[in-house]
Structure formats: structure tokens, C-alpha cells
Structure 1
């Protein structure tokens, strides 16, 4: 993949949208391209993580042992929490189809932050959006559970 192609991909991802052309070129020079086959587990829940992944092509499932948490496609990114925390991965990531990823490691990310903190804006916005979606889901599940419990307590009520 050419540097210019990487720059165009980076520019299309919310995380990097506010960065200068110069900064995008410097990221494109160090970010690594990775091909993954359908069914390949990119990382496993509980693994130590230190990479952020951008999807150029393909489809990735973010999941735990029982549930799919998200399906991500071109121009999405994942693994950002491991760049900000030394905690282990909170979910697994598996390629649903042959995919092309760009991988940025934690060291490269911190080097980028030293020269341009605007990248944090994209991460914060993404984390807030994902947190709001999770809060909404938790609220819906809680309501559903309460309704189910109420029907079990008084099956004639409805």
C-alpha cells in the first residue's frame, strides 16, 4: 500500500480527521499493513494489547465468549482502549471475512501524542459514543428484565 493511499484512509477515519496533512504522512510512514484471513483471531479477550487497528477492507467481529458486541467494516477502528490503558483486552476481535488492516502500536501512538494531542479528540469522541450506546443497551436490558420479572410475579397482569 502506498503512503498516499494510507493518508487517504487515515483522513477518512474520524480518529484522524482533524490532523494536518503533514501529521497524516508521518503516521502513514510508520503504520503497518496486515492481511488477515477469514476466521483469524486478531486478539483474544484477556490478552495484553498495545495496537490500534484501522480497517481498510473486510469485516471484523468484536466479541466476548457469548456475544457479538460489534461488527466493524472499512474505515472503522478498534483496539484503541489498549493504547490508553495497560489493562488486558476486554473483548476478542476476529475477521469475519478476509480483511486488510493498518496497525499502529502504542509506542508510535505515544510519539504522535507528544507532537499533536488533537488525536485525543477523536478517541474521546469515539469512546463517548460507544459508552452512550452501551448505556442505552444496559437500560433496555434492565427494562426488559424488570418486565419479565413482573410477569413472573403476577402472570395475570398485563
Structure 2
């Protein structure tokens, strides 16, 4: 179990909460549930309904589309599951504990009550989501460039093959 001070220090370090007042963070951190997961335990599955954000207290988790495609590995101080707090859409990825993992959980209802009290939290979450989208877009662009280069190389090889035949 985390002490109140440990909870405050951890939550204060999470990007979406960084700019919020300590008195607000103390209250928010105190209402979060602490949960533990063993290695290889799926925390939630892609397609599942979600209404909670998780903060990694200890251990590591992998965010993945399937067993072969990892999107990220997250450790202490990182959060995941935040998209489900704002829309009614199913989870876009699965999250599985890599090691023994402890998390703090913030529910949608708790967050909405917090936003009513401190609207800045919504702006911070939007910023974090925007950063994640930018990173994903960068990865997609890099992959598209690599595919384009490979396609050009393949065309050159085909042209060479035709000239030899």
C-alpha cells in the first residue's frame, strides 16, 4: 500500500496531472484504488468497454494490438487507458502486465467530478493525447517512407530482371 505522500508524488509526476495544485492532487490521489497484477495478466483487452485510467506505480506493462504488435512498454509514472474516460468506444488496444505490476485506478466518474472542480485537468489530458497522436503519426510516416523506398527498390529489381531476360 502506498502512503498519502507516495501517492501524491507519483500522481504529481504523471504528465496529465503535472500542472495541477497539490491540494487537488492529494484529494484525487486519495480516491484512486490500488490494484496489483501478476506477470502476463491482461489488465484489459482490445474491444472491451473501459471507464478507467491506470497509473503504473511499479512494474511494467505492454500496450499491444495483438500478441505480436506492441505499441508501447510503460513503467512507473506512466498512465494508460485515458481515452476510454472520454468516449464510449471500446478499448483500442490491450494492456498486459510484463512484470508484477501495481497500478492506481481513476474511474470516469471520479475524473468527471475532478474536472468539474478543476477544468485544467481536461486541457492536460488533451495535450497528452495530442502528443501520443503526433508520435503515432510520426511512426506511421516513417513506416510509409520505408515502404515507399522498398517499393522503388522492388521496381528497380523488376526492371533489371526484365532487362536480363
Q: Same fold (TM over 0.5)?
A: yes
**Equivalent in the alignment of 2:155:** 153
What is the SS of the residue equivalent to 2:12?
helix
Q: State which structure, 1 or 2, has the greater radius of gyration over its C-alpha atoms.
A: 2
**Equivalent in the alignment of 1:61:** 62
- After superposition, the CA RMSD in angstroms is 1.5
**Equivalent in the alignment of 2:53:** 52
Offset, 1:120: 1.7
**Equivalent in the alignment of 1:120:** 122
The CA deviation string for residues 4-36 of structure 1, in whole angstroms up to 9 with x for no partner, is 221111111111111112111111221000111
Where in structure 2 are there 5+ consecutive unaligned residues? 160-165
**Equivalent in the alignment of 1:85:** 87
**Equivalent in the alignment of 2:9:** 8
**Equivalent in the alignment of 2:26:** 25
Aligned residues: 158
Tell me the distance in 2 between the aligned counterparts of 1:125 and 1:72: 18
Calculate the TM-score normalised by the size of structure 1.
0.95
Where in structure 1 are there 5+ consecutive unaligned residues? none
What is the SS of the residue equivalent to 1:70?
strand
Calculate the TM-score normalised by the size of structure 2.
0.91
- 1:102-141 matched pairs, under 5 angstroms: 102-141=104-143
Q: Which portions of structure 1, spanning 4 or more consecutive aligned residues, are displaced by more than 4 angstroms? A: none
**Equivalent in the alignment of 1:101:** 103
- 1:32-47 matched pairs, under 5 angstroms: 32-47=33-48
